[in-house]
Amino acid sequence: MRRVAIRVAAFAAFAFSAHAFAAETQFVLITHAPDSDPFWNVVKNAIKDAGQDFGVTVSYRNPPNGDLADMTRILEQVAARNYDGVITTIPDFDIVQAPIRKIAAKHIPFITFNSGTERQSEALGALLHVGQREYDAGMAAGELAKAAGVKRFLCVNNNVTNPESFERCRGFGDAIGADFKQSTLDSGNDPTEVENRVFGTLSKRPDVQAILALGPTSAVPSLRAVQQRRLTGKIYFATFDMTPEINRAIAKGTVAFAVDQQPYLQGYIPVAMLAIMKRDKTQDIDQTRKTLLADANFQRRLKLYGLVPQFGPRHVSTGPSFITRDNVELVEKYAGQYR
């Protein structure tokens, strides 16, 4: 009976400790994205799942209209509080570095993800960066287009306030031997505006052989513009990221491929690693990575959603991979939620 009582007491103490950890551990994730961009719904699902799996509370904050000045104000507010961990994008290093350095100066552990480079992340003092190298992703996409005979393209950029977004256009252009600056269109984020601008550009530039959209926000209205110009099936179309609409277009052959950067991993991994570091009182990235890879919940989610992270010595690469007509069925049911 005494042993049973000890075990019950130990279990109660553990349960109380876990509850206290969850109640007291507060993380915040900040992005540059407007509310209208569906890409970030997957990230939101990921941070919710990671919070549940690792017993932490995660807040999501962003500038509703994608205004980087607004994002800077959010970062300033975060720096003034004592969060247990911060996760942020780096859409424009020069604009956001000052408030992020204030977070670093308070010795708050933070991880960068999605936008920005590994070098920028290190310069700011982040523990690591989780995402894909945008130029490499654009280059890989361009190589596929080059193999299909593409020499001239239109890069539809709905996120021109993010300097890293141009790296996708530049990589694609370098791969096919085209000038990305002359090939890039500032489309804006309003669907009607995107459609009209793409329609107008295709009218003025009948030599365009391919369209590269930098996300579903620009891809879906661009597809409508292509249809209006009666170019469906005649123009090579590729995009970054997925939605159910994009996947249906891939299955039909209207879209050649989508570049998949696995946004679920971009949200899940930073939360999980910060939680492990907080719980185990360590900033040893190698040990934290090993602990994460051994975690049953993480492995279950990787298998369930067909996700493949690439852990380097410090940083984590989540892409690029490509969704084509050959494999779209494998991810179609999770598009917009977990893929």
Cis peptide before 99 (omega within 30 of 0): no
pTM: 0.90
* CA-to-CA separations, 294 to 45, 172, 186, 255, 289, in angstroms, rounded: 22, 37, 44, 37, 9
Residue 143 corresponds to which amino acid? E
pLDDT at position 180: 98
For β-strands 210-213 and 236-240, DSSP reports them as parallel
Which residues are CB-neighbours of 80 under 8 A, at least 6 positions away?
none
pLDDT at position 257: 98
Per-residue pLDDT tens over the stretch 167-203: 999 999 999 999 999 999 999 999 999 999 999 999 9
Phi, psi of 156 (to 5 degrees): -95, 100
Please give the CATH topology (third level) of the domain spanning 2-132+262-320: Rossmann fold (3.40.50)
Per-residue pLDDT tens over the stretch 12-32: 444 444 444 555 899 999 999
Query: What is the Cα–Cα distance from 313 to 245, expressed in whole angstroms?
Result: 37
pLDDT at position 24: 86
Q: pLDDT in tens for each of the 339 residues of the chain? A: 555 454 544 454 444 444 445 558 999 999 999 999 999 999 999 999 999 999 999 999 999 999 999 999 999 999 999 999 999 999 999 999 999 999 999 999 999 999 999 999 999 999 999 999 999 999 999 999 999 999 999 999 999 999 999 999 999 999 999 999 999 999 999 999 999 999 999 999 999 999 999 999 999 999 999 999 999 999 999 999 999 999 999 999 999 999 999 999 999 999 999 999 999 999 999 999 999 999 999 999 999 999 999 999 999 999 999 999 999 998 989 999 999
Report the top-level CATH class of 134-260. Answer: alpha beta
pLDDT at position 12: 45
Domain ranges, ordered by start, for the chain:
2-132+262-320, 134-260
Residue 251 half-sphere exposure toward CB, CA atoms < 13 A:
13
Does 2-132+262-320 match 134-260 in CATH topology?
A: yes
Which residues are CB-neighbours of 36 under 8 A, at least 6 positions away?
189, 217
pLDDT at position 21: 54
